[in-house]
Amino acid sequence: MEGAQKITVIRTGGSFISGGGARYELLADGVKIASMATDERVDLFLPTGEHMLSARNGVWTSVEPQSILINVPSRYRTYRLDSASGVLLQPALE
């Protein structure tokens, strides 16, 4: 896709008790694009503009997803989905 930027989302581990064993759903602009297990990564190619990147526990989908707004082009090309204590989606320095 011309003008698109590659954005990588990496799911880090978490304890089984805090949801580390569950798959997490990754959404871009409200559309489910992946179901991620621990240590998986997903590459997205997002067009220029504002995008909402969200993640939620795949088991308890009624819980509101944790979201982050990103503007493409973005200085951050990698985002980390951490499930060690709930759902945390944040830019990474990788």
User: Residue ranges of the domains in the chain?
Assistant: 5-92
Tens-digit pLDDT profile for residues 13-28: 765 444 456 889 999 9
pLDDT score at 69: 95
Output 1 or 38, whichever has higher pLDDT: 38
Q: Cα(first)–Cα(last) distance of the chain, in Å?
A: 23
**Residue 82 predicted with pLDDT over 60:** yes
What is d(CA 31, CA 93) in angstroms, rounded to the nearest whole number?
A: 26
Dihedral angle over CA of 1, 37, 84, 5, nearest 10: -10
pLDDT score at 42: 96
What is d(CA 61, CA 74) in angstroms, rounded to the nearest whole number?
A: 28
Tens-digit pLDDT profile for residues 34-53: 999 989 999 999 999 999 99
* Token pair recorded at residue 12: 């880090």
Q: Which CATH code for domain 5-92?
A: 2.60.40
